[in-house]
Structure 1
Amino acid sequence: MATDQSSGKNDIEEEEEEDPVDRLLSKSGCAKYHYAVQDCMVEHKDWRKCQKEVTAFRECISQQQNQKKT
């Protein structure tokens, strides 16, 4: 039985690559707000109960977009 050693290597390489979404969030400076929304969603299972977190994330993203325009 031959094993394919390259498939294991690809799995490791994929784990080491940063997720594009995580990279963009880190660049924007809004990652902590994004993760707060995710944590709230895990806890409450209802985005309507996470409006404080959603609003903070939205405001952070809006500020970043406005800074790019100027």
Structure 2
Amino acid sequence: STSTQSAVSNKIEEEDFYETTIRQTGCSRENEELQLCFADKRDWRLCREELEKFRECWKKHKNDVRVEQKSVA
């Protein structure tokens, strides 16, 4: 049906936007490792190492500053 096709199209666009946004942070590998850990273990507390690697990458690429600038604009 048309509504199903529209929902699928919207989902693909959301994924593309998310993936593009994460790629622009320079931390897509770290994000993927964190997501896979959570998908596997279903508990963020068990993914502390992956979370810390993502956090370090985020800071290294100065994403805190970038996000603040975008939310102000």
Same fold (TM over 0.5): yes
For 2:19 and 2:46, locate their aligned partners in 1 and report how far apart those are by CA, in whole Å: 24
Q: How many residues align?
A: 64
Q: What is the aligned-residue identity percentage?
A: 27
The answer as to 2:57 corresponding to 1:60 is yes
CA radius of gyration, larger in: 1
- SS of equivalent residue, structure 1 residue 52: helix
- In proportion to residue count, which structure has more helix? 2
The offset of 1:13, in angstroms, is 4.5
Segments of structure 1 that go 5 or more residues without pairing to the other structure are none
Segments of structure 2 that go 5 or more residues without pairing to the other structure are 67-73
After TM superposition, the score normalised by the length of structure 2 is 0.64
After TM superposition, the score normalised by the length of structure 1 is 0.66
